[in-house]
Amino acid sequence: QVQLAESGGGLVQAGGSLRLSCALSGDTFRRYAMAWFRQIPGKEREFVAANSQRHGSIVYADSVKGRFTISRDNAKSTATLQMNALKPEDTAVYYCAASSTVILSQLRSRSGYGYWGQGTQVTVSS
């Protein structure tokens, strides 16, 4: 059974950086496209970034492009989201997601992912 374990959230001042990690267990990591989504209370969960080795594709939401970097370490079965130049509007619960079957056109879609982490809070103060 695939499980995702996130770590690295916290409180940071605007302009600062945080690094989120997501460890996958229970299957072969390199088979999985990995993604990050985020959600604030009362709003839908929104796409942040995705990395699919199978498709050779890395994509970002426009709101984080140039500030966030998603990467993966197949040897450690871990995906990482490096977040720089953080803004108060980046405050949210961040969720890691994984899928071995997602198609290229669904990389940005919640429905493309069948496995989710528990979420980690990121708070950016102004």
Helix (H), strand (E) counts: the chain: 0, 11
What is the spatial distance between Cα 34 and Cα 52, in angstroms, rounded to a whole number?
A: 6
Residue type, 83: M
Report residues of the chain scoring pLDDT below 50: none
Q: What is the pLDDT of residue 49?
A: 98
Q: What is the pLDDT of residue 85?
A: 98
Q: How many other C-beta atoms are found inside a 10 Å radius of the C-beta of residue 11?
A: 12
Selection from 6, 114, 108 nearest residue 57 by Cα: 108
